[in-house]
Amino acid sequence: MTPPDESSELLLTRRSLLGMAAGLLLLSPFAGLRAQSVLQDISTNRSLNFLHTHTGETLSVNYWCDGAFQSQRLTPVNYFLRDFRTNEVANMDAGLLDILYELQVFADREATFEVISAYRSPQTNTMLRKSSSEVAQKSLHMEGKAIDIRISGFSTKKLQQFALAHQRGGVGFYAKSDFLHIDTGRIRSWVG
């Protein structure tokens, strides 16, 4: 962003305010504080776009309006983030949506999140554990509290750094498969 000269006008848009708030949070000595409080003060609507990498389905949803989650709009989110192997649907933790929204703001783009995995039934989790040692036995995916994502055209490593700055749950970075695990569990991080 170029600084304004004397003859130009500085226009503050919602997007630029969110970007500035995000930047200040990352640069501040309080970077560990939740970005959520900053976003709650200046964001009246929160929207997300998804593409499911396994089903090819897409979803655009404005899940937060006028200071509240829109429960009727969470139903299609739950269906979209279902266990695509069994078609079982679970109630996803709405806090995941806010974490994704914050990552979108930090990335300074209205991004489409590519979803690799969200809810997993216990049967699916057991099946995946048999083929990979990186699948947790008590995975938060089974509780609707975890999602594996990437943003097309955006560095997953940089996305990981943004997620770590939030300190809002678990963050796993899988460089080889190019995705980020985000969950609403206790604060921790790992590289897979």
**pLDDT of the residue at 2:** 26
Residue 98 tokens, joined: 């806010």
User: Using alpha carbons only, how large is the chain's radius of gyration in Å?
Assistant: 17
- Indicate left, alpha or beta for 153 from its phi (over 0: left) and psi (-120 to 50: alpha): left
Exposure string of 34-54, with b = 16+ CB inside 10 Å and e = fewer, is bbbebbeeebeebebebbbbe
**In whole angstroms, what is the distance from residue 79 CA to residue 52 CA?**
12
pLDDT for 9 beyond 80: no
pLDDT for 26 beyond 50: no
170-174 vs 188-191, strand pairing mode: parallel
- Out of 78-82, 107-111, 154-158, which region has the weakest mean confidence (pLDDT)? 107-111
> Percentage of residues in the chain with pLDDT exceeding 70?
78
Indicate the fold that domain 14-191 takes in CATH. Answer: Muramoyl-pentapeptide Carboxypeptidase; domain 2 (3.30.1380)
Q: Taking Cα atoms as reference points, which of 138, 121, 128 lies closest to residue 183? A: 138
The mean predicted confidence, pLDDT, of the chain is 81
**pLDDT of the residue at 61:** 95
pLDDT for 10 beyond 60: no
- Helices H / strands E in the chain, number of each: 6, 8
Question: What is the mean pLDDT of the segment spanning 147-154?
Answer: 94
Q: Which residue has the higher pLDDT, 192 or 82?
A: 82
